[in-house]
Structure 1
Amino acid sequence: MSEPILATHGLNKSFGALKATNDVSIDLMPREIHAIIGPNGAGKSTLIKQICGGLRPDSGRVVLCGQDVSGKTTQVRARAGLGRTFQISDLCMEDTVLENAVLGAMGAQGVAWRFWRSALKTDALLERAEAALDRVGLAEERNTRCANLSHGQRRQLEVAVALTLSPRAFIMDEPMAGLGAEGSKRLTGFLDGLREEAPILLVEHDMDAVFALADRISVLVYGKVIATGTADEIRSSQEVREAYLGDEA
């Protein structure tokens, strides 16, 4: 049986009396999309920050490709293969599409930021960046300023930046946010194929996308996983209906 690419073991994080994550243990298997869903305030963002290194848990471990990365920085985890896209865009709006992708490639190869301009002339970095842009369908926009992209294209660019890391796992925080129905449909199709390159831990409120994509779904409520299962199992769970889905199931 395959080993998880990414796993958390008993993650706990409290803010005063608030238990933001409560003994959270989840895993992500090869070629899988594992969705994390739950109401606002359930602890999803706190969980993602702990996985990616932006927030240290009070207790518990994060394991990536068999390596305990619990004490590692965000940058070290990224170089180890954790590719992240954000709920709110983290792109450099005044730079071009290609420049944003090169920034990601620099991080992948550990190039110092002070060499940023010279990196635009480095063949290896350019090749990595351009390959990622081609992969997401943005090659023709390489010289477009990021601020001039549509919202959907910025989501594609975030994925391209993550791809420059040659990720072993993707962490995607609400990639459908702000997209219309057609944009969500296109991105859903793209993510469905992307799982073959690296599995995806997906935090998403768009239930149509979640049910279309996820091999497994974990439901987080008040910091605790109350259920994990297939889409059909989650739909049919009375506890999940009462806590979150309601009529959406």
Structure 2
Amino acid sequence: MIEPLLDIRGLTKSFGALVATDDVSLTLRPGEIHALIGPNGAGKSTLIKQIAGGLPSDAGEVWFAGQNVTKLTTVARSRAGLGRTFQISSLAMEFTVLQNAVLGALGQRGTIWRFFSPVMKNLELRASAMAALERVGLADHAGTRTAELSHGQRRLLEVAVALTLKPRVFLMDEPMAGLGAEGSKGLTTFLDGLRREAPILLVEHDMDAVFALADRISVLVYGKVIATGTAEQIKANRDVREAYLGEEEGL
């Protein structure tokens, strides 16, 4: 059996009486897209924050590439190869599209920057940033201020920034949000190819995209994983349909 690149073991997080994640365990294997689905408030974004290091866990461990990274900071995990896109944009809105991508490329180097202008003159960083923008279809918007982008374009920029980090694993929190039908279709095709570079843990509400992409799907309800399986297994699971898929029109 192929060893998982990402191994989540019993992660738990409570906020007072609210248990956001409850003993969650899952794995991500090389070349795989593992989708995490569930109703709003199920704990999906909390789990992604725990995995990325932005939120300390009450219990459990995160293993990455055979190493226990539970105590590492977000920055350390990122430099180790965990690349994340966010449910809510973390982009610098006053910067241009290219400047945001360059910051991502700079982060991949682990360099502390003090003066932004010299960084923007670095041809290697600019080339890496432009290559990422080209891949997501934003090269023509390189000089556009990020605040002027549509919501969907900002999601694509998040993906481009993640690409500049050259991650070994992608953590993607609702990348399809705001893209519309055509945008979602295009990003679905892109992510299908991206898994060859690095596996993807995908949190997503677009079920067409999930069923088209995911090798495995885990269903999170009230902080607990109630099922894991292929798309067909998840569709046929009565507990899943009652807890979540029954809410989705046409499923």
SS in 1 for 2:102: helix
Q: Which residue of 2 aligns with 1:65?
A: 65
Alignment of 1:210-249 (within 5 A): 210-246=210-246, 248=248, 249=251
Q: Which residue of 2 aligns with 1:201?
A: 201
In 2, distance between residues paired with 1:88 and 1:46?
13
Aligned-partner residue type, residue 216 of structure 1: R
Q: Which residue of 1 aligns with 2:125?
A: 125
TM-score of the pair, normalised by structure 2: 0.95
The answer to which of 112-121 and 31-40 deviates more is: 112-121
1:103–1:116 Cα contact (<8 Å) kept: no
The answer to which of 99-108 and 134-143 deviates more is: 134-143
In 1, distance between residues paired with 2:147 and 2:220?
34
1:56 paired with 2:56, answer yes
1:17 paired with 2:17, answer yes
In 1, distance between residues paired with 2:90 and 2:161?
10
- Offset of residue 31 of structure 1: 1.1
Q: Which residue of 2 aligns with 1:5?
A: 5
Q: Work out the number of aligned pairs and report it.
A: 249
Aligned-partner residue type, residue 48 of structure 1: I
The answer to which of 223-232 and 180-189 deviates more is: 180-189
In 2, distance between residues paired with 1:187 and 1:161?
15
In 2, distance between residues paired with 1:116 and 1:236?
53
In 2, distance between residues paired with 1:153 and 1:49?
23
- Offset of residue 247 of structure 1: 5.9
Q: Which residue of 2 aligns with 1:188?
A: 188
Q: Which residue of 1 aligns with 2:136?
A: 136
In 2, distance between residues paired with 1:48 and 1:221?
15
The answer to which of 134-143 and 93-102 deviates more is: 134-143
Q: Deviations over 1:158-196 (max 9, x none)?
A: 111001111001111011112211111111111111111
Aligned-partner residue type, residue 209 of structure 1: A
SS in 1 for 2:128: helix
Aligned-residue sequence identity (percent) comes to 71
Q: Which residue of 2 aligns with 1:29?
A: 29
1:170–1:198 Cα contact (<8 Å) kept: yes
In 2, distance between residues paired with 1:179 and 1:136?
13
Aligned-partner residue type, residue 66 of structure 1: G
- Offset of residue 210 of structure 1: 0.8
Q: Which residue of 1 aligns with 2:74?
A: 74
Gapped regions of structure 1 (runs ≥ 5): none
In 2, distance between residues paired with 1:247 and 1:134?
37
Q: Which residue of 2 aligns with 1:102?
A: 102
SS in 1 for 2:115: helix
TM-score of the pair, normalised by structure 1: 0.96
Q: Which residue of 1 aligns with 2:179?
A: 179
In 2, distance between residues paired with 1:63 and 1:116?
35
In 1, distance between residues paired with 2:8 and 2:237?
24
In 2, distance between residues paired with 1:223 and 1:141?
39
Q: Deviations over 1:46-88 (max 9, x none)?
A: 1011000011111111011111110011111111111111111
